[in-house]
Amino acid sequence: MSWVKGDGAKIKITFDKALIGDVTGLNPVLSYSYQKIMGTVTGSHAYSGYPVTNAADGLTTTSWFISGFVAGEWFKVQYTVAKAFPKWRMYLTSSGLYRPLSVIFQGSNDGTSWVDLSTVSVPAPQGTAGWVEFDTNNTTPYLYYRIYMNTSNNSGLQIEEIQFADRPTGNESHFTITVPEYDSVPNGTLRNVVKTVNTISMGDNAKEVILEVMPLERFESSAGNITIAYDGLGSLAGSTGNVEAFSQTFLPTELIPKPDQNNIEHIEVSISATGALSQIYYTNTADQEQGHIEISLSATGVLTHVNDI
C-alpha cells in the first residue's frame, strides 16, 4: 500500500500482533451515524409552546407535544436532495408516557404519494429516558420522509427528538485524532483540533490498519505532536482478544507545508474613479446666491494582492 505522505490525510498504525476479522467494523455493522435533521420539518399539529421543530433541534431537553392525540398524527421532513436512511430513532421520556405505539416510516418524492418503508411498535424506555432505534433497511433515496402514527398510549403525544441515520459506522468512530493547529485569526494561537476519521482499512499486512481523515481535515505540518486514541469499544481484535484502549503520540514529518494564520492578513485594492458633471443650479437666499454643482461618480476596485488569508 502506498500514498503521498505529504498529503497528511492518512495515519498507519502497526500492532505487535496480527489482527483477525474485519478491521473496518462494518461486517457486521457496529453502529450507525445519526445526525440532527437538517431538512424542513412540519407536523400535523402541536400544543402551544411545544412546536414540531423541537423534535429536530438537536436537543433532548425540548419536546414536540400534541394534546388530544388522534389517529393519523404525522411528522414530516423535506430534503432538497434525495437521501436514503437505513435506520431512525426517537428520544422518549423515562416513563414513555405519551409515546406513539404504532408507527409507519414512509418515503416519498412528491410529498403526496407515500411508500411504507417499515411498520414498528414503539417500546417504552427501560426506566430511564433514552433513544429507541428502528430499522428501515431502506436503500432508496427519497426527498420526503414521514413518520405516520396510528395510536398512542395516552391522550397526548410527546417526542423529545427524532434523528435519521444516513450510513453505518464502524471502528473509525472509536478513534480520536487530536492535532495542534493555529486558528484563523490575525496572530493566531495554537489550539488542539479533533479530526474526524472517515474510514479505516487494513494495511500491507495483518498487523497494520490505516486511518484516513476527510480531505478538508488534513494535518498541518510543523505545528506539533498528533495524538491518536482508541476507546477500546470497537471490534478490533487479535488472536488473544479485543484490542484494549490506547493513546499514542507522535510528531509528523515530511508533510507538505500548509501555512498557518500566524501572520496578519493583508489585502491591497487599487481603486480608480471617474466623475461627470451632471447639473449646475442656483438657489437664492436672503443674503447671498449659492451655486450648486452635482457630479456623479463611478468607482472600480481591483484586488491586487492577498497575503496570508
Structural domains of the chain, ranges and CATH numbers in brackets: 5-29+171-250 (2.60.40.2180), 31-169 (2.60.120.260), 266-307 (no CATH)
Whether the predicted pLDDT of 76 surpasses 90: yes
Whether the predicted pLDDT of 291 surpasses 80: no
- Record the cell numbers describing residue 33, joined without a space: 451515524
CA distance 53 to 60: 12
- Record the cell numbers describing residue 84, joined without a space: 436514503
State residue 1's pLDDT score: 43
Whether the predicted pLDDT of 71 surpasses 90: yes
CA distance 173 to 167: 12
The pLDDT confidence band at residue 29, using thresholds 50, 70 and 90, is: confident
Find the mean pLDDT for residues 31-40: 88
Cα Rg of the chain, angstroms: 29
Find the mean pLDDT for residues 209-238: 85
State residue 3's pLDDT score: 58
Whether the predicted pLDDT of 246 surpasses 80: yes
The answer to whether 162 and 37 have CB atoms below 8 angstroms apart is yes
Least confident of 103-112, 172-181, 196-205, 266-275: 266-275
14-35 burial code (b ≥16 CB/10 A, e <16): eeeeebeeebbbbeeebbbebe
Is the pTM higher than 0.85? The answer reads no
The pLDDT confidence band at residue 192, using thresholds 50, 70 and 90, is: confident
State residue 26's pLDDT score: 83
pLDDT, one tens digit per residue, over 88-137 is 999 998 777 888 999 999 999 999 999 999 999 988 776 678 899 999 98
